Chain A
């Protein structure tokens, strides 16, 4: 046995390096002679560019180059791709929103890039940018997703009527309508999914080097996928194919946002190739607010149909999903998950989504931790809470009546997903016990005696991870004394290196100390993406198969060395062994003799996994101020199997805090008329902080996943799915008791709660 196998709490191997400031982020790459870039951005949410005069900037001290959209067009740069095709319900393809590297004739959101200045220093570039004279003709702008879809709203794109870029139906409308027609009870809700800013600690950055000898460019950039960026930027935007290599070093948080190509990445490579010198750019925090793809932004109308006995029949929703000014990489796909998640862990007959995707004069929206799953679960779990009150059934009992039962697995949901595993009733029971659900009335009374109002909120969640696209890959190389693992994924803080070493240590029977992990180089591994909580499932499985391929490749060499037939050799604990004898040789000796062993596994099974769980939040509200504090928070998760319990809980905590941020604090607010971002800094955009959250009571109720050999389900986004409905259900528990109010929109700020209590 190896010392640190799968399932053990191994402390993060990354931490000594990162915590001592020895990590290497993109901005740490500062070779002498590199040009420093500054991007001039639109101050208008919508305007025609009548002309750009760069003469004064070109002549400013230290300036190397000033480039505009005209130059990009002259160089025949392609548009940043949205890779998701969508068919409207009438059979036509979705609208297109070609996004140039630099705005050419029109700007469509505040922060849209209009010119690039490269200079000897950052300050010289920024000073010069102030000398650029852009002649704008401002146009009416629209920021609100629902308002934008109404007739007469300002048009973001000339060819896209009412700003509706896609209009589609998912699930059976007829079956759903029929279920509603015979329902004894129908519960309705109108809600928003508040728009969020990802705000990773490390801002986006791009640094491009050019090698004249090979005519190749290397883009160093903080990302979740060097492979995808290489393909999109190299093949589609710059049209230089493999002349582009993309690398990522340490990444300080990404949350989905850094999976997406942004204009500055191809812009910096393009500038570097034109100038035949290195060029570097790092976003500042203000730019991050104005340009990093944002999350959520839905306006939702939803209904739940129940029979007389409180059995769920069907759920339906009309969702207006904000896409921002341009369709980002995956954007139109993200809200589609609302449909697949709406049935959640319940035995619905039917589920129908009418999805209307809308462009607005705002920063593009794309995947943000959870990416469509929080949006879907929130709709259903809010509806269930309202139904429980309307029908006078306890919220846990109403859920219990409707769970998909163990005996029904595998179960095809009303949205067509097939759940392989999950004990929802047992998991909820465990959570109720952990939360001391039955003791709540006494705690509520104790709070009231102190002048405080106490509420409790329960939610179940399920999410969907794994999947075939894009393919993920792991390469494993063994020489005479080391194993090197090259995953296609990029660690953003999760601890991939630690867990990969644990996994490969077990697969090959080699101590972790002899294993190296090398990631973030598109030359070394051409596939892979960190995202969708798929590392454990997809990369873990690929690492397992690649390990077996390496072992197999060593068989013949081992047979030669042990003077036996390959069929008589078995592999165990890092040794090739002649069966039934003590004759053995090590993996490293075999690799050394064979001149190295290597395998690259690319395909994955494509199987989906369904992490699920229960969150129970207990809040106390100060009725005089509206301040909500979270007094108790219980989480029970089913992740199939824990690869490293400590890192797993880190994921749960982080996701839950982000979900609490969405529920209570975070909101990207745009001015309705000017479409200016009003919460453009940490002075106005409230992030969750350590003192905003309690110590979490966490436990597991694992049921192994049967669709992958590891039995794992994925955990990265789970907390962000469970927390918003748990928190809002808890707050509404108070608002309903005091005022009969059945819903409050996120973020449930102090003022909003105070107003609800004093309405």
Chain B
């Protein structure tokens, strides 16, 4: 780790001011990816602005058919929230399956989606549930928020404040874990909103993406068989030591079917 300045922000405005002045400063929102990268000397921020002291960023609200989660809410808090479990059990389960207990107790939803790791779980939850990401400047649809490998629509100095999820009729998330890291080799989030269905895939490609053909088939008939015959082209998918692209493509179909099964209970 290289030396850096640590600042604990009291308000969002404080944090934004520091980030506005110092282009090399970074937000500390749990640090479960960032601090690990710093320890390996792969990241060298000049300063860390810790958002952990801003209470308003840690609230969970369910109202008007939406679940709104503060950006600094930990995965463990989402997983344990009775309100989330009742409204969108698949979201609570997703949060409860991130990393390990230590990661879940410190890592946050805002940190996860701002980092946009191509194998992270929350991007699939956000895109699958059509989430709206609110920042200190604006509101961004999940359909335009995730821009591929570690890239998002966030601008310099922009800080996520909340993430709002539409409550679906039913949903499920199935993850096929990397044997070593336990990140998703492929993760599929399926959400049935009545007339429309969303299918979001993480881990398989350079960033989270939807599968229109499956969504259309499931909107017509929300049943496992509807997606069992739909294959995704391997081209453009990740191919590495842990899974070649064709295996990932195959897994997307298998997991989509299983996610529909799980959503149907």
Interface residues of A (CB under 8 A from B): 123, 126-127, 286, 624-625, 665, 669, 678-679, 682-687, 749-751, 754-755
Contacts of B41 in A (CB 8 A): 126
Shortest Cβ-Cβ A-B pairs, 5 listed = A686-B180, A686-B179, A683-B181, A624-B254, A751-B247
Q: Which residues of B contact A684 (CB under 8 A)?
A: 180-181, 241-242
The reply to whether B179 and A665 form a contact with Cβ atoms under 8 Å apart is yes
Question: What is the chain B residue whose CB lies nearest that of A752?
Answer: B247
What is the bound-complex CA distance between A683 and B182, given in angstroms? 8
- Assess the A754–B247 pair: CB atoms within 8 A: yes
B180 and A751 contact, CB distance less than 8 A: no
Nearest residue in A to B243 (C-beta to C-beta)? A751
B40 CB within 8 Å of chain A: yes
What distance in Å separates the Cβ of A731 from its nearest Cβ neighbour in chain B?
Answer: 15
- Contact A123:B181 (CB < 8 A) given known A625-B251, A669-B241, A751-B244: no
Q: Which of B174-195 contact A (CB under 8 A)?
A: 176, 178-181, 183
CA distance in complex: A126, B178 (Å): 32
Q: Which residues of A contact B250 (CB under 8 A)?
A: 754
**Chain A residues whose CB sits within 8 angstroms of the CB of B176 once the complex forms:** 625
- For B1-28 the 0/1 string (1 means CB < 8 A from A) is 1110000000000000000000000000
CB of A309, distance to nearest CB on chain B (Å)? 43
Could you show 23 A-B contacts with beta carbons less than 8 Å apart?
Answer: A123-B1, A127-B2, A286-B40, A624-B254, A625-B176, A665-B179, A678-B241, A682-B180, A682-B181, A683-B180, A683-B181, A683-B183, A684-B181, A684-B241, A685-B180, A686-B178, A686-B179, A686-B180, A687-B180, A750-B179, A751-B243, A754-B250, A755-B247
Chain A residues with Cβ under 8 A from B3's Cβ? 123
Shortest CB distance B151–A (Å)? 21
CA distance A127 to B183 in the complex (A): 32
A349 → B minimal CB distance (Å): 42
Smallest distance from the beta carbon of B31 to chain A beta carbons, Å?
17
Interface positions of B (Cβ within 8 A of A) = 1-3, 40-41, 176, 178-181, 183, 241-244, 247, 250-251, 254
Residues of A close to B1: CB separation below 8 A: 123
Closest residue of B by beta carbon distance from A667: B241
A residues in contact with B242, CB < 8 Å: 684, 751
State the CA gap A678–B241 with chains docked (Å). Answer: 8
Specify which of B40, B241, B254 is in contact with A625 (CB 8 Å cutoff): B254
Q: Which residue of chain B has the shortest Cβ distance to A750 in the bound complex? A: B179
Instruction: Report chain B residues within 8 Å CB of A687.
Output: 180
A364–chain B nearest beta-carbon distance, Å: 23
Contact B181 A679 (CB under 8 A): no
Contacts of B179 in A (CB 8 A): 665, 686, 749-750
Closest A residue to B244 by CB, please name it: A751
Closest Cβ of chain B to A579, distance in Å, is: 65
Q: A669 vs B180: C-alpha distance in the bound complex, in angstroms?
A: 13
Measured in the bound complex, the distance between the Cα atoms of B1 and A683 in whole Å is: 19
Bound CA–CA A558/B180 (angstroms): 63
Give the distance to chain B from A756, nearest Cβ to Cβ, in Å: 12
Residue of B nearest to A758 (CB): B250
Give Cα distance in the complex from A750 to B241, angstroms.
12
Interface centre among B180, B242, B243 (most CB of A within 10 A): B180
Determine the chain A residues whose CB is within 8 A of the CB of B183 once the complex forms.
683
In the complex, A123 Cα to B178 Cα: how many Å?
33
What is the minimal beta-carbon distance from B3 to any residue of chain A, in angstroms? Answer: 7
Give every chain B residue within 8 A of A126 (Cβ-Cβ): 41
Instruction: Give the nearest-CB partner of A622 in chain B.
Output: B254
* C-alpha spacing A625/B250, complex, angstroms: 8
Quote the shortest CB–CB distance from A524 to chain B (angstroms).
39
**What's the Cα separation between A749 and B180 when bound, in Å?**
11
Instruction: Tell me how far the C-beta of B149 lies from the nearest C-beta in chain A, rounded to whole angstroms.
Output: 16
Question: Once the chains are docked, how many angstroms separate the CA of A16 from the CA of B80?
Answer: 33
Given A126-B41, A751-B244, 11 new contacts (CB under 8 A): A625-B251, A665-B179, A665-B180, A683-B178, A683-B181, A683-B183, A684-B241, A686-B178, A751-B242, A751-B247, A754-B247
Q: Which residue of B lies closest to A286 (CB)?
A: B40
User: Once the chains are docked, how many angstroms separate the CA of A424 from the CA of B2?
Assistant: 60
Residues of A within 8 A of B2 (CB): 127
Chain B residue numbers with a CB within 8 Å of A678 are 241
Residues of chain B within 8 A (CB-CB) of A683 are 178, 180-181, 183
How far, in angstroms, from A123 to B38 measured CA to CA in the complex? 13
B255 to chain A, nearest CB (A): 9
Cα distance A625–B174 when bound, in Å?
A: 13
CA distance A685 to B180 in the complex (A): 6
Could you tell me the distance between the alpha carbons of A669 and B181 in the complex, rounded to whole angstroms?
16
B-side contacts of A750, CB under 8 Å: 179
**Which chain B residue shows the least CB distance to A682?**
B180
- How many Å from the CB of A599 to the closest CB on chain B? 50
Cβ of B159 to closest chain A Cβ, rounded Å: 28
B247 partner residues in chain A, CB cutoff 8 A:
751, 754-755
CB distance from A123 to the nearest CB of B (A): 7
Q: Which residues of B contact A686 (CB under 8 A)?
A: 178-180
- Give A754's nearest chain B residue, CB to CB: B247
A474 to nearest B CB, angstroms?
42
Chain A proximity of B39: nearest CB distance (Å): 9
Chain B contacts for A286, CB-based, 8 A: 40
Assembled-state Cα–Cα distance A686/B176 (Å): 15
Q: Which residues of B contact A751 (CB under 8 A)?
A: 242-244, 247
What's the least CB distance linking B81 to chain A, in Å?
Answer: 25
CB distance from B262 to the nearest CB of A (A): 15
* Closest B residue to A755 using CB positions: B247
B136 CB to nearest chain A CB (Å): 33
Complex Cα spacing A755 to B3, Å: 47
Residue numbers in B under 8 Å from A754 (CB-CB)? 247, 250
For A749, list chain B residues within 8 Å (CB). 179
Q: Tell me, rounded to whole Å, the shortest Cβ–Cβ distance linking B253 to chain A.
A: 9
> Which residues on B sit within 8 Å (CB–CB) of A679?
180, 241
CA distance A749 to B241 in the complex (A): 11
A37 CB → nearest B CB, Å: 17
Bound Cα distance A754, B186 (Å): 15
Find the residue from B178, B179, B241 having the highest chain A CB count within 10 A: B179
Which of A669, A687, A749, A751 gathers the greatest number of chain B CB atoms within 10 Å? A751
In the bound complex, CA of A685 to CA of B241 (Å): 10
A665 to B1, alpha carbons, bound, how many Å? 31
Q: Which residue of A lies closest to B3 (CB)?
A: A123
Provide the residues of chain B in CB contact with A669, threshold 8 Å: 241
CA–CA, A755 and B246, complex, Å: 10
Contacts of B181 in A (CB 8 A): 682-684
Question: CA A543 – CA B1 in complex, angstroms?
Answer: 48
How many whole Å from A568's CB to the nearest CB in chain B? Answer: 67
- Residues of A near B241 (CB, < 8 A) are 669, 678-679, 684
A624-B256 Cα distance, complex, nearest whole Å: 12
Nearest Cβ distance between residue B14 and chain A, in whole angstroms?
28
CA distance A33 to B187 in the complex (A): 51
A624 cross-chain contacts in B, Cβ below 8 A = 254
How far, in whole Å, are A751 and B251 apart by their CA atoms in the complex? 10
Name A126's closest neighbour in chain B (CB-CB).
B41
A754 to B179, alpha carbons, bound, how many Å?
15
Alpha-carbon gap, A625 to B186, bound state (A): 11
Give chain A residues whose Cβ lies under 8 Å from the Cβ of B251: 625
Rounded to whole Å, the gap between the CB of B112 and the closest CB of chain A is 17
Rounded to whole angstroms, the CA-CA distance of A686 and B177 in the bound complex is 11
Give B87 Cβ to nearest chain A Cβ, in Å.
29
Closest B residue by C-beta to A692: B179
Q: How far is the CB of B30 from chain A (nearest CB, A)?
A: 18
Task: Identify the closest chain B residue to A678 (Cβ).
Answer: B241
A341-B227 Cα distance, complex, nearest whole Å: 52
Which residue of A is nearest B40, CB measured?
Answer: A286
